[in-house]
Chain A
């Protein structure tokens, strides 16, 4: 009996090992995570390395799309810097935020961290990040724009911008042609109509007009409904900057249109369990007519899922066809120094190197992201990558102010879950929105009372005049 179980265990262990080998490729290309984070490894440095005084730094990032290039320039830094600094780059993708939380709570934080528009605030508040104001020369201050709430928090600078992301309608040109659609949808009604036509043209080959990654309703609607709401002049995450209150009415017509597409059978079957990567894989195969997403898509269709179709990106439609607001240009931050680092000066030296003109310029030209540094944007050439044209920032892109959603604790179902439920099973949308507004504003009031959120009305707020 024991022998049999032992045999089974062995076979199982081998199966798992083989599976693990097969899936390991996407996770950092073999960069080993150093659990010891920052260490002044003067005494423990290998004999073959540089002379004594060597400083080891670790840099953790969640970015996968640029890892080959960044690895190359990190290696160059390690080989050439005169201070004996050696940076180990660790790419963690899926659970990056959790890994950071765990690393900080166990005192094993990296020296340098890739921060994003959604993490710089909480991590600065949690005390993970070191202000870099004392390091910033006048030259740096002039060159890199300070963006309140996105790299300057409560008067302290934590990071500097590199690139930004825009959100667009991504569409399958081949399928549009096949369906005989000459013009891209400008309104919600046109979008619904086009999705129907695309499905009619593609269904025989398993292609559908529209898709969203509803495995996470937030991930789905905060890239799709969000950009349509913004372009129509509403806050993308349900917050109204004019009144400093939540008002999900801006989502109403958008969600109704999304529901219509579901009812029409114009949406990809199974999208309720679709993650963004499987969605992209299907788009690359030509099975999806259009979807809405960030400017990371061109990189994905070049390397991760090479697109078998002719595709492009264009501005998202608006509710009624008129643009009443700028759509989100996300970004404003890239590297930050850990407050727990024992080698902050060395970490700044690495940061200085990474923010060098050549590196940032090449970054855009290779198509990893669109520069948010005005001086670089001026000198850098257009990215050399298919599909990027439609994502290039225009005067209709801008950075919306920070809204307080991350600081509030909403009781009950989140807005995105409620909306998705409506899309699948209908109901009284007005009552749902009323309930959402009440619960979100109650949570906002509580957070304000506890001093955890700020919300001041700005009656003159104009979504067309954000920067």
Chain B
């Protein structure tokens, strides 16, 4: 009886989140999985087309191009973000004047809307009157404006902006991890004559291991899924150089209207591509997870 009541209690507490998960999580996924096999424009009849959407996906050059771009974007973002946020966290974990203000400043980009920031970055980076170029020209560092958002540099620019937006967030997670490392470990190691680098390499990093693993995993998922600031800054251009896969999916569901016609929404094909992107993100995340587990065991 008591056991039954306990189970009842558990379900009562679970019910609200379970309901939300079903309505907002599982139902839409089920919806998308169903429409993967249909040709549906959001109105009229949904026509069953079997595996046609996947056949089209296989042939869809621009999509695979966007997948490649996504890996470049995510890779670049991770390479910049993780080491930088770790270093920042280690530095800001030490006691010095102004530490709190610096932490707040580094964290601020996390809470500012990425779309709003993309607009601001456009003003900074654009080639014709961007503030960045004007400064570089004034300082004599360049002689002609750099096309930051042109085909050659647009990806680099979006990566820099993405890293700017993410560093504070991961720094905070690292800080939380660092604060769990007991002080006395450092004290005893310094008595043993370990220098700062040795402390970082042989104490901080291993003891931060579990946090580091989670943070990297979150960072991978976020980097693969990010598209909002790209949409505002370049809309995937120029000539598809910054088109990432989630932006590609978005455009299938909400195509850009031109002055003369509004293309139909492609719910069926969009769902199929959305599914494929989810699988790609899932596989990468799983791969990382398995790899990090194996490394743990080896250690």
**Which A residues are closer than 8 A to B by beta carbons?**
1, 4-5, 7-9, 11-13, 15-16, 19-20, 97-98, 101, 105, 117-119, 121-122, 125-127, 206, 214-219, 222-223, 226, 236-237, 268-274, 278, 282, 287, 294, 328, 330, 405-407, 409, 411-413, 417, 420-421, 424-425, 450
Flag if B43 contacts A417 (CB, 8 Å): no
CB of B177 closer than 8 Å to a CB of A: no
Flag if A214 contacts B112 (CB, 8 Å): no
CB proximity of A215 to chain B, nearest CB, Å: 6
Q: A8-B107, A270-B149 are in contact. Are A117 and B260 (CB under 8 A)?
A: yes
CB proximity of A411 to chain B, nearest CB, Å: 6
Complex interface residues of chain B between 98 and 128 (CB less than 8 A to chain A)? 100, 103-105, 107-108, 110-113, 116, 122, 126-128
Apart from A16-B113, A270-B127: 4 A-B pairs, beta carbons within 8 A: A12-B112, A218-B258, A272-B150, A409-B264
> Complex Cα distance A214/B130, Å?
17
Complex interface residues of chain B between 243 and 276 (CB less than 8 A to chain A)? 254, 256-266, 269
Determine the residue in chain A with the shortest Cβ distance to B261. Answer: A406
Flag if B264 contacts A407 (CB, 8 Å): yes
Flag if A222 contacts B258 (CB, 8 Å): yes
> Complex Cα distance A122/B264, Å?
8
A126: chain B residues within 8 A (beta carbon): 42-44
Flag if A8 contacts B111 (CB, 8 Å): yes
Q: Which of B105, B116, B147, B261 has the most CB of A within 10 A?
A: B261
Flag if A278 contacts B111 (CB, 8 Å): no
Flag if A287 contacts B237 (CB, 8 Å): no
Determine the residue in chain B with the shortest Cβ distance to A9. Answer: B111
Q: A4-B100, A270-B128, A273-B237 are in contact. Are A118 and B261 (CB under 8 A)?
A: yes
Flag if B264 contacts A269 (CB, 8 Å): no
Flag if B175 contacts A1 (CB, 8 Å): yes
B112: chain A residues within 8 A (beta carbon): 12, 15-16
Flag if A425 contacts B239 (CB, 8 Å): yes
Flag if B257 contacts A118 (CB, 8 Å): yes
Determine the residue in chain B with the shortest Cβ distance to A418. Answer: B239
B257: chain A residues within 8 A (beta carbon): 97, 118-119
> Complex Cα distance A110/B147, Å?
43
B262: chain A residues within 8 A (beta carbon): 97, 118-119, 122, 406
Flag if B150 contacts A270 (CB, 8 Å): yes
**Which B residues are closer than 8 A to A by beta carbons?**
39, 42-44, 47, 56, 59-62, 100, 103-105, 107-108, 110-113, 116, 122, 126-130, 145, 147, 149-151, 154, 172, 175-176, 179, 233-235, 237-240, 254, 256-266, 269
> Complex Cα distance A272/B127, Å?
9
Q: A4-B104, A218-B256, A219-B258 are in contact. Are A424 and B264 (CB under 8 A)?
A: no
A287: chain B residues within 8 A (beta carbon): 128
Q: Which of B130, B145, B233, B260 has the most CB of A within 10 A?
A: B260
Q: A127-B43, A270-B150 are in contact. Are A409 and B261 (CB under 8 A)?
A: no
Flag if A8 contacts B235 (CB, 8 Å): no
Determine the residue in chain B with the shortest Cβ distance to A125. Answer: B43
Residue A16 contacts which of B44, B107, B116, B172 (CB distance < 8 angstroms)? B116
CB proximity of B280 to chain A, nearest CB, Å: 20
Flag if B60 contacts A412 (CB, 8 Å): yes
Flag if A214 contacts B237 (CB, 8 Å): yes
> Complex Cα distance A282/B263, Å?
30
Mind listing 7 A-B residue pairs with CB under 8 Å?
A7-B100, A8-B107, A12-B111, A19-B116, A219-B258, A272-B147, A421-B240
B261: chain A residues within 8 A (beta carbon): 118, 121, 237, 405-406
Flag if B149 contacts A272 (CB, 8 Å): yes
> Complex Cα distance A39/B127, Å?
49
Q: A273-B122, A412-B60 are in contact. Are A424 and B151 (CB under 8 A)?
A: yes
> Complex Cα distance A407/B103, Å?
53
B149: chain A residues within 8 A (beta carbon): 270, 272-273
B116: chain A residues within 8 A (beta carbon): 16, 19-20
A13: chain B residues within 8 A (beta carbon): 111
B266: chain A residues within 8 A (beta carbon): 409
Flag if A236 contacts B260 (CB, 8 Å): yes
Q: Which of B128, B237, B263 has the most CB of A within 10 A?
A: B128
Residue B260 contacts which of A1, A8, A125, A222 (CB distance < 8 angstroms)? A222
Determine the residue in chain A with the shortest Cβ distance to B116. Answer: A19
A268: chain B residues within 8 A (beta carbon): 128
CB proximity of A149 to chain B, nearest CB, Å: 11
CB proximity of B107 to chain A, nearest CB, Å: 5
Flag if B108 contacts A11 (CB, 8 Å): yes
Flag if B259 contacts A223 (CB, 8 Å): yes
Residue A412 contacts which of B62, B172, B175 (CB distance < 8 angstroms)? B62
